[in-house]
Chains A and B, each alone.
Chain A
Amino acid sequence: MRDGQYKVVVNDEQQYSIWFAERPLPQGWRETGYEGAKQSCLDHIDQVWTDMRPRSLREAMGE
């Protein structure tokens, strides 16, 4: 992935990733509202994604 503008995206399992800012999102992913240079998006994810267990697992484990 080349440098450029990206958005922070998240899926139903609350797993985070980044996607090209100017391109439509792959199915099953939504925007978080954060957009910027690649590194800044990744830094943002480091802040917000604190539990990397998928949502369905967290729920199954009774949380």
Chain B
Amino acid sequence: MTGTYAFPASFAQERLWFLTRLDPDAPTYHVNAVYELPDRDDPDRCERILRELVRRHETLRTALAIEDGNLVQIVQVELPVALPRTDLRELPPERAEREFGELAVAESRRPFALDRAPLWRAHLVLMPGGPQRLVFVVHHAVFDGRSATNFAEELRELHDAIDEDRPPRLPDLPIQYADYAAWQREHLGRGVLAAQLGHWRERLAGLPPDLGLPTDRPRPATRGHAGAEHHLALPAGLVDELEALARRRGATLFMVLLAGLKALLSRYAGQHDVAVGTPVAGRDLPEFEPLIGMFINTLVLRTDLSGDPAFGDLLDRVRETVLDALDHAEVPFDRLVEALQPVRDTSRTPLFQVGFNLLPMGSRGQFPNGTAQLDLNVDVVRTADGAGVYLEYSTDLFDAATVARLAGAYRLVLEAVAAEPGTRLSELPLMTPAERRELLTGWNDTAAPYPELTLHELVAEQAARTPDAVAVRAPDGAELTYAELDARTGALARRLVAGGVRAESCVALCLPRGVHQLVALLAVLRAGACYLPLDAAYPPERLAYLLADSGAALLLTDSAHRDRLPADRPPELLLDQLADPEPADAGPEIRDDGPLPSVGPDNLAYLIYTSGSTGRPKGVQVPHRGVVNLVTDVIRRLGGGSALYMTSLSFDIAALEIFTPLLSGGTLVIAPEDAARTPKEIRRAAEDADLVQLTPSVASLAVEHLPPGLPRAILGGEPLPLDLATRLLTVTDELWNFYGPTETTIWSTAYRVPHSPATMLIGSPVANTTAYVVDQDLRPVPVGVPGELLLGGAGVTRGYHGRAALTAERFVPDPFGAPGGRLYRTGDLARWRPDGSLECLGRLDDQVKVRGVRIELDEVAAVLNEHPSVRRAVVAVRDDAPGGRGLVAYVIPAGEGSGAGVEGELRAHLRARLPEAMIPAAFVSVPDFPVLPSGKLDRAALPPPGAGATTAAFVPPRTPMEETLAAIWAELLGRERVGVTDDFFALGGHSLLVVRLVGRIDDEFGVELPLRRCFDATTVEEQALAVLEEGLTDADLLELLEEER
């Protein structure tokens, strides 16, 4: 008797069928196990046992197929069973094990065709020395964890019964899985579904779409299934303590382990709203117990971890979460997704990305098959000596070492709460003492000697060593030797002292870049004072503010610039009107003035104003010490020699361009005043230089004009895009990416950029500098976890001029380094890489979240920059983006082409590579980016995105195929009309409708559109193209080509 019956599929089967169809070849939803059986010299016994199992359980004879637009189970009345056999008995044991492993993994990865029964396969392997191993692989649509237990028990009992020559003692199966599926539909239909859905809608309202767990690599636009597994053992003593803790708090071990995991995730992600998924057995009636089949449902366990609770309180919260979820456990997960998150995001799993389960002893037979269903899944299995923790993770997102660290941190958290349940969330340890030591001390081992002298003392020493070397070369070719520079500086310094300048005085400099300016700068230092650079291009209000706020005692300028300065200003000295600047003549009369003030490394060298995003500009007081330390380190690492002086003096990094040559006997090559804006000037100037320093904004304009064979280049001040780095590496072999705020003196970290870098880093701290990455409680975070970057050491400046409160807030006590030290809180988000280098992730306060997903603006810009029609792109967050606060992309087009066509192309380009939340709401084409005098991008001056062009107008179908498709959509979506640019999911489409859509497309066009394509092509317009492409056969193509001819 042969034949088939059709029954409705269960909800879980619909879900698994759908997920499998999305990636038909991925073995993500395979369950596998290896059963060891004693060898009984009865070669067919195992096959006979399997035959009996198949006879007993309909699910082992079931396939899934679409009938009339609905998924059904097709059960075969009879199914022939043949068990393939491999004999490895003759092999040496080691080799046999290896071959067995390869065979098992190969079996476990071979895809199932869901419409062909059976949805399992088995393979018997005879091992050396007797035992037989049965490899069993089965699709999750007909099997679950409890099924595995049932299967193993029946297998054993049938085996024993044959051994003992008796009938097997197996439970009767009065009902089969198909009965369950029918019961489930009826049961849920009676109002249960609606009531429970209502509950979940409330419980999960406002759930962030992403947990925020930091990943090693950006999330791909479409989730991959590649995975791996990490194992961690928990000792029996620890598990006993956790169980005791559970008992004391009226909770279960499951809840304690889950609370520990949530605490860990919350700390890693820096998020308090933590949702974790967990499977529930779903065998609500006793008759379901002995069946084999897919009964599992998935619950979303969401807990609010805010308020820094003690672990005991957190456990109470998790207990509530779990009990509440179990009370509403019947809503099929897919129904929940459709109700709560109808718009599919193919880059991440809906509602939760991390799963958790606690399994009874011996129940986890699964061996890794190279897939991961979630970003991360944590299975804890009881063992005879404690518990095993299996972390299955997506290898697209995480490195093995990262998951190993996370697992180690999980154990630390569990140990800490077992020892002291009163420990607060923020105090739970995430690192071992050794890991902590490496981060705090090992990677900050930067001690190196530097002279205990001031900048001008060091320049004077250099002048004494190499008096006749060329110290300065002006754009017009005029040169100054060290001796001449020293003499002119000394003369002017004495004049300044005569004019009342003292140690710690502030002297404003408003002079064009040139020899005058340099002499003035050095003279100010020599007179014991610090300089305040003023850029004449600044608006008059800003100049007035800087002069007033700094309390500058004197102003050094020239007659050309004087008139641009505010009327209310300190006494001035016009350098072009000094009696005679020639040192030979000016010298004798002034040299009588006595000794110059003596100042030390902790006196100020300069006062530089920086603008934050809010508030008035603030003056950073920078002592000599930090500059001397940095310049010494740069000369040590990169070498000294000549350097191009091109950066505006009002940007602190200019000091590095000035002092690197002057402290190493090289020549300071002065670039023409507007070199940064006229790139052709750069080439001539840079030809003489061993070192140039550029911001990426300037470098992107200048790179084509830089002389090839440039010895060294330092980039810094802004994020360095990878593609720009690659282009710069064609000009110079030695490219450095430096990072540092003015508050810790020019640069604090350095990174030698390798050829073809994968990620742009900022490297490690420079000499005598410490770097820490901390959470908001100033506690160090583990490798890979983003936190605020704190900097300490010789570069830490005095503070903000006249702003004691602000200084105290930003410069905090150093809990890690030398006693009494201070750390500057950079406000930048960074993380450690496993090799001890730092990655900067942007500003802490413009952490952008779009629909709850954290966005890295530079990442979006980097992908845009890859597009051939983009010359350079930046991405900004704006409140005036279409649809409110959102992303706006600014693009300098590469060629002539611009406008709507290009925007569509760029959108598609990004869509293919980035998650939906990272796609800008608007694209603005600009001829150039606005740049600040410092050479950095002027974000505030980017134009607002133009209105309109974003609300998609109704576009009627234009071809017969579009017409047919639009009609199918309208019918499925219950709409009167559908435009060809409308989005299927935005109109209410969901996964089951996609299945119907695919069926209808097949009916109408005879084309089997892969499910995946419906998620890429989400408009009628795109789908019509997809159908055309899929439908084309080679014959059609040939025909088309014929027609072309």
Q: What is A's interface to B at a CB cutoff of 8 Å?
A: 1-2, 8-9, 11-13, 15-20, 25-29, 38, 41-43, 45-46, 49-50, 52-54, 56-57, 60-61
For B798, the chain A residues whose CB sits under 8 A away are 52-54
For A61, the chain B residues whose CB sits under 8 A away are 503-504
B813 touches A11 (CB 8 A): yes
Which of B603, B776, B809, B814 meets A2, CB within 8 Å? B776
Q: Does chain A have a CB within 8 A of B821?
A: yes
B805 touches A43 (CB 8 A): yes
Question: For the complex, what is the distance from the CA of A49 to the CA of B543, rounded to whole Å?
Answer: 27
For B812, the chain A residues whose CB sits under 8 A away are 1, 17-19
Closest residue on chain B to residue A15 by CB atoms: B822
Q: Does chain A have a CB within 8 A of B835?
A: no
Closest residue on chain A to residue B308 by CB atoms: A2
Question: For the complex, what is the distance from the CA of A43 to the CA of B804, rounded to whole Å?
Answer: 9
Question: For the complex, what is the distance from the CA of A21 to the CA of B210, rounded to whole Å?
Answer: 34
Question: For the complex, what is the distance from the CA of A18 to the CA of B805, rounded to whole Å?
Answer: 10
For B621, the chain A residues whose CB sits under 8 A away are 52
Which of A29, A46, A60 meets B804, CB within 8 Å? A46
For A29, the chain B residues whose CB sits under 8 A away are 813, 820
Question: For the complex, what is the distance from the CA of A12 to the CA of B820, rounded to whole Å?
Answer: 7
Question: For the complex, what is the distance from the CA of A43 to the CA of B809, rounded to whole Å?
Answer: 11
For B804, the chain A residues whose CB sits under 8 A away are 16, 45-46, 49-50, 52
Closest 9 CB pairs of A and B: A28-B820, A28-B819, A27-B819, A26-B815, A49-B804, A11-B820, A42-B805, A46-B805, A26-B813
B776 touches A1 (CB 8 A): yes
For A57, the chain B residues whose CB sits under 8 A away are 600, 602-603
Closest residue on chain A to residue B816 by CB atoms: A26
B821 touches A28 (CB 8 A): yes
Question: For the complex, what is the distance from the CA of A50 to the CA of B805, rounded to whole Å?
Answer: 10
Question: For the complex, what is the distance from the CA of A11 to the CA of B821, rounded to whole Å?
Answer: 8
Q: How far is the CB of B179 from chain A (nearest CB, A)?
A: 56
Known interface pairs A1-B776, A11-B813, A29-B820; 11 further A-B residue pairs with C-beta atoms within 8 A, sorted by A's residue number: A1-B825, A11-B822, A16-B807, A17-B811, A17-B812, A28-B821, A45-B804, A49-B807, A54-B602, A57-B603, A61-B503
Q: Does chain A have a CB within 8 A of B579?
A: no
Closest residue on chain A to residue B788 by CB atoms: A1
Question: For the complex, what is the distance from the CA of A42 to the CA of B819, rounded to whole Å?
Answer: 22
Question: For the complex, what is the distance from the CA of A32 to the CA of B101, rounded to whole Å?
Answer: 67
Contact mask for chain B residues 777-821; partner A; CB cutoff 8 A; 1 contact, 0 none:
110000000000000000000110100111111011111001111
A20 touches B777 (CB 8 A): yes
Which of A1, A54, A60 meets B778, CB within 8 Å? A1
Known contacts A1-B776, A2-B776, A19-B813; A49/B602 CB under 8 A: no
Closest residue on chain A to residue B597 by CB atoms: A61
For B805, the chain A residues whose CB sits under 8 A away are 42-43, 45-46
Q: How far is the CB of B82 from chain A (nearest CB, A)?
A: 66
Interface centre among B778, B813, B815, B821 (most CB of A within 10 A): B813
For B821, the chain A residues whose CB sits under 8 A away are 11, 28
Contact residues of B between 281 and 297, Cβ < 8 Å to A? none
Tally A-B pairs: CB < 8 A.
82
Chain B interface residue count: which class?
A: 20 to 34
For B825, the chain A residues whose CB sits under 8 A away are 1
A26 touches B808 (CB 8 A): no
Contact mask for chain B residues 885-897; partner A; CB cutoff 8 A; 1 contact, 0 none:
0000000000000
For B819, the chain A residues whose CB sits under 8 A away are 26-28
Which of B503, B778, B808, B814 meets A45, CB within 8 Å? B808
Question: For the complex, what is the distance from the CA of A5 to the CA of B981, rounded to whole Å?
Answer: 55
Known contacts A9-B813, A53-B504, A57-B603; A28/B808 CB under 8 A: no
Contact residues of B between 49 and 82, Cβ < 8 Å to A? none
Closest residue on chain B to residue A47 by CB atoms: B804
Q: How far is the CB of B1033 from chain A (nearest CB, A)?
A: 64
Q: How far is the CB of A14 from chain B (nearest CB, A)?
A: 10
**Can you report 26 residue pairs joining A to B where beta carbons are below 8 Å apart?**
A1-B777, A2-B777, A11-B820, A16-B804, A16-B808, A17-B808, A17-B813, A18-B812, A20-B777, A26-B815, A27-B819, A27-B820, A28-B818, A28-B819, A28-B820, A38-B809, A42-B808, A42-B809, A43-B805, A45-B805, A45-B808, A49-B808, A50-B804, A52-B801, A57-B603, A60-B600
Q: How far is the CB of A41 from chain B (nearest CB, A)?
A: 8
Q: What is B's interface to A at a CB cutoff of 8 Å?
A: 503-504, 600, 602-603, 621, 776-778, 798-799, 801, 804-809, 811-815, 818-822, 825
Question: For the complex, what is the distance from the CA of A38 to the CA of B812, rounded to whole Å?
Answer: 13
Known contacts A1-B776, A27-B820, A53-B798; A18/B814 CB under 8 A: no
B777 touches A26 (CB 8 A): no
Q: How far is the CB of B831 from chain A (nearest CB, A)?
A: 19
For A13, the chain B residues whose CB sits under 8 A away are 820
Question: For the complex, what is the distance from the CA of A40 to the CA of B1014, rounded to whole Å?
Answer: 58
For B822, the chain A residues whose CB sits under 8 A away are 11, 15, 17
For B776, the chain A residues whose CB sits under 8 A away are 1-2
For B808, the chain A residues whose CB sits under 8 A away are 8, 16-18, 41-42, 45, 49
For A9, the chain B residues whose CB sits under 8 A away are 813
Question: For the complex, what is the distance from the CA of A53 to the CA of B804, rounded to whole Å?
Answer: 11
For A50, the chain B residues whose CB sits under 8 A away are 804
Question: For the complex, what is the distance from the CA of A10 to the CA of B822, rounded to whole Å?
Answer: 11
Q: How far is the CB of A6 from chain B (nearest CB, A)?
A: 10
For A45, the chain B residues whose CB sits under 8 A away are 804-805, 808
For B778, the chain A residues whose CB sits under 8 A away are 1, 20
Q: How far is the CB of A23 from chain B (nearest CB, A)?
A: 8
B814 touches A15 (CB 8 A): no
Q: How far is the CB of B772 from chain A (nearest CB, A)?
A: 12
Question: For the complex, what is the distance from the CA of A56 to the CA of B623, rounded to whole Å?
Answer: 14
Closest residue on chain B to residue A49 by CB atoms: B804
Q: How far is the CB of B310 from chain A (nearest CB, A)?
A: 14
Question: For the complex, what is the distance from the CA of A17 to the CA of B814, rounded to whole Å?
Answer: 10
For A27, the chain B residues whose CB sits under 8 A away are 815, 819-820
Closest residue on chain A to residue B825 by CB atoms: A1
Q: How far is the CB of A15 from chain B (nearest CB, A)?
A: 6
Which of A25, A53, A54, A56 meets B813, CB within 8 Å? A25
Interface centre among B776, B812, B820 (most CB of A within 10 A): B820
Q: How far is the CB of A34 from chain B (nearest CB, A)?
A: 11
Q: How far is the CB of A58 from chain B (nearest CB, A)?
A: 10
A26 touches B602 (CB 8 A): no
Closest residue on chain A to residue B815 by CB atoms: A26
Q: How far is the CB of B804 from chain A (nearest CB, A)?
A: 4
Question: For the complex, what is the distance from the CA of A9 to the CA of B813, rounded to whole Å?
Answer: 8
For B504, the chain A residues whose CB sits under 8 A away are 53, 61
For B809, the chain A residues whose CB sits under 8 A away are 18, 38, 42
For A11, the chain B residues whose CB sits under 8 A away are 813, 820-822
Question: For the complex, what is the distance from the CA of A2 to the CA of B808, rounded to whole Å?
Answer: 15
For A19, the chain B residues whose CB sits under 8 A away are 812-813
For A54, the chain B residues whose CB sits under 8 A away are 602, 798
Question: For the complex, what is the distance from the CA of A1 to the CA of B573, rounded to whole Å?
Answer: 45
Q: How far is the CB of B560 from chain A (nearest CB, A)?
A: 35
Question: For the complex, what is the distance from the CA of A16 to the CA of B822, rounded to whole Å?
Answer: 10
Q: How far is the CB of A4 from chain B (nearest CB, A)?
A: 9
For B807, the chain A residues whose CB sits under 8 A away are 16, 49, 52
For A43, the chain B residues whose CB sits under 8 A away are 805
Question: For the complex, what is the distance from the CA of A48 to the CA of B809, rounded to whole Å?
Answer: 15
Closest residue on chain A to residue B426 by CB atoms: A2
Question: For the complex, what is the distance from the CA of A13 to the CA of B814, rounded to whole Å?
Answer: 14
Closest residue on chain B to residue A48 by CB atoms: B804
For B503, the chain A residues whose CB sits under 8 A away are 61
Question: For the complex, what is the distance from the CA of A13 to the CA of B813, rounded to whole Å?
Answer: 12
For A56, the chain B residues whose CB sits under 8 A away are 602
For B600, the chain A residues whose CB sits under 8 A away are 57, 60
Q: How far is the CB of A47 from chain B (nearest CB, A)?
A: 8
Q: How far is the CB of B830 from chain A (nearest CB, A)?
A: 17
Q: How far is the CB of B373 from chain A (nearest CB, A)?
A: 36
For A46, the chain B residues whose CB sits under 8 A away are 804-805
Interface centre among B603, B804, B812 (most CB of A within 10 A): B804
